[in-house]
Amino acid sequence: MDPIKYIFEKAALTGRIARWQMLLSKYDIEYRTQKAIKGSILANHLAHQPVEDYQPI
């Protein structure tokens, strides 16, 4: 399990992890699975690469 996801989904935290949760709660952290990140990187790369020999069908 991802440590960031664990910190935000665990109901009762104590000690150091509770302090980390308080510090991290200041930021708008959005958890995404690694698969989704890889997919968006590929889509962004393809969208920003011009195709010089493009011919419409």
pLDDT at 18: 83
Q: Where are the domains of the chain?
A: 3-45
pLDDT in tens, 17-53: 888 888 888 888 777 666 666 667 778 887 888 777 7
Enter the pTM of the model. Answer: 0.41
pLDDT at 38: 67
- Residue 20, Cα to own-chain centre: how many angstroms? 18
pLDDT at 1: 60
> Residue 30: left if φ>0, alpha if ψ -120 to 50, beta else—which one?
beta
